[in-house]
Copies of this chain bind each other. A is one copy, B any other.
């Protein structure tokens, strides 16, 4: 993860245009936040036994910081409007906050919060699949298929998180905490380093097409 951060940080340093710098910087901070998380976990910090279940609550803190940056990558690539970007960030924040509450709540209340968190996740999926893609395709009509791919990869990775959650000791206790940690680690690397690389690739394709068709406008819609 630190290697990923170093790579994106170096990229941000060398970036030629403001757009590239933005994209590299976002991926850099996503990996940096995750690196701090893994440092804390390696030092045995950020976890407690709550309601007889071991809970790595520091995950939720770092997720609450890194996932908005990931959504900003989407917003940047798709020229997403301010309202939709805000809705995505709000839905995402609700998902993570209720996920944390679920992890800290006693059984069986934790399942209620899990359902709320999943509902927020489904709302975010809907926002990405329908209004986000519609806006992205309207703003950059020639790059339709890239957004489809990007959203698909993202959704496959993110859908795995609640599945791990419900199988892990936080939920049904079907897998051990070590297996839980292993799965989350694989997912984190894929969805942070991997996704960062894919988003760079997508942007390079968009820029290439944009350069030849001139449908690139200044990214006024991104904060």
What is A's interface to B at a CB cutoff of 8 Å? 12, 18, 21-22, 25, 29, 32-33, 36, 39-40, 43, 45, 81-83, 86-87, 90, 94, 97-98, 101, 105, 109, 112, 116, 223
Contact B109 A36 (CB under 8 A): no
Contact B101 A45 (CB under 8 A): yes
Contact A116 B36 (CB under 8 A): yes
Whole-angstrom CA separation of A29 from B87 in the bound complex: 8
Whole-angstrom CA separation of A109 from B22 in the bound complex: 34
Nearest chain B CB to A57 CB, angstrom units? 13
Contact A29 B90 (CB under 8 A): yes
Copies of this chain present = 3
Nearest chain B CB to A10 CB, angstrom units? 13
Contact of A18 among B21, B81, B90, B223 (CB under 8 A): B81
16 contacts between A and B (CB under 8 A): A12-B87, A21-B83, A22-B82, A25-B86, A25-B87, A29-B87, A29-B90, A32-B90, A36-B97, A39-B112, A43-B109, A43-B112, A45-B101, A45-B105, A82-B223, A223-B223
